[in-house]
Structure 1
Amino acid sequence: MFGKKTQGGSQARIDSLIGAGTTVEGKVRFGGGLRIDGEVRGSVEAVSGDGQTTLVLSDQGRIEGAVAVGHLVMDGTIVGPVSVSDTLEMQPKAKIVGDVSYAAIEMHQGAVIEGRLVHVRPGGEPILPGQA
């Protein structure tokens, strides 16, 4: 998960960590990269709207709240709506309970989404029926 190359070919940078056994209650706002091995009860959102933010949610990680980021690589659980302006990558143990908007998605066998999927243009603009 740490060494995943982004579309531009550079390594995703992780600036902050919420470690295993740690619970954060309230809104988490970040820029750059954030890895969550613990639990967040509240929203997690990127402060930069340029899509250059990366959230990594490990198989031990859990978020109960809304998520809005540029890139999301996950193997844990999110309970709440998810908005990814660029790429969503779901590893085999990943689970989302809530609606998901995404520009690009990669789901490995075993990953689960319980909710609606809405495809958006890169940057977050919804694609309406009949548009490509």
Structure 2
Amino acid sequence: MLNRKRNDQVHRHAETSLISQGTIIRGDVRFTGTLHLDGRIEGAVLGEGSNAVFTLSEHGQVHGEVRVPHAMLNGQVTGDIYISERLELAAQARVVGDVRYSSLEMAAGAQVNGRIAHQGDDHAQRELPAPELRSEPVPA
């Protein structure tokens, strides 16, 4: 989509599965290799393995969570997105939900209606330190 040369290197030897336009799947979808969605999934999209790639065409829709290492989105996702490696949002991408990513490329026109947060290698939530307790009384 946005950078085909690099994307071809990611899944050069992977098998590709296609869910065509007009097809609706109700339930979670787990896949390895590459999944290309032109239809609609009502459930979670779960990529297994570090080379799993999810591509969503401008006609494709997901109503559920997306958890994959690599994704190239140009359709509509209603649900939270968790990308452990690289996320590309093309111009017609529409996301209603929170996005967590390691690397992000976003084209002009793409929309995210939710929180966008980078997840580092530690993936740990950092908390603010507790306030210091005073041993002396506070003046009134």
TM-score interval for Structure 1 and Structure 2 normalised by the shorter chain: 0.7 to 0.9
Across the aligned residues of Structure 1 and Structure 2, the Cα RMSD in angstroms comes to 2.4
| Structure with the greater alpha carbon radius of gyration | 2
Uncovered stretches (5+) of structure 2, i.e. residues with no partner: 128-140
**Distance change >3 Å, CA 126–CA 73, structure 1 → 2:** farther
Q: How does 1:89-100 map to 2 (within 5 A)?
A: 89-100=88-99
Report the alpha carbon displacement of residue 117 of structure 1 after superposing the two structures with TM.
1.0
- Name segments (4+ residues, structure 1) moved above 6 Å: none
| Contact 1:80–1:96 (CA under 8 A) maintained in structure 2 | yes
Uncovered stretches (5+) of structure 1, i.e. residues with no partner: none
State, as a whole percentage, how many aligned pairs show the same letter: 34
Match of 2:21 in 1: 20
TM-score calculated relative to the size of structure 1: 0.85
Match of 1:5 in 2: 5
Q: Distance in 1 between matches of 2:124 and 2:37?
A: 28
Equivalent AA in structure 1 for residue 43 of structure 2: G
| Contact 1:119–1:126 (CA under 8 A) maintained in structure 2 | no
Equivalent AA in structure 2 for residue 6 of structure 1: R
| Contact 1:5–1:11 (CA under 8 A) maintained in structure 2 | no
Report the alpha carbon displacement of residue 14 of structure 1 after superposing the two structures with TM.
5.0
**Distance change >3 Å, CA 11–CA 82, structure 1 → 2:** closer
Q: Distance in 2 between matches of 1:105 and 1:127?
A: 20
Match of 2:35 in 1: 34
Q: Which protein is richer in helix relative to its size?
A: 2
**Distance change >3 Å, CA 27–CA 16, structure 1 → 2:** same
**Distance change >3 Å, CA 32–CA 104, structure 1 → 2:** same
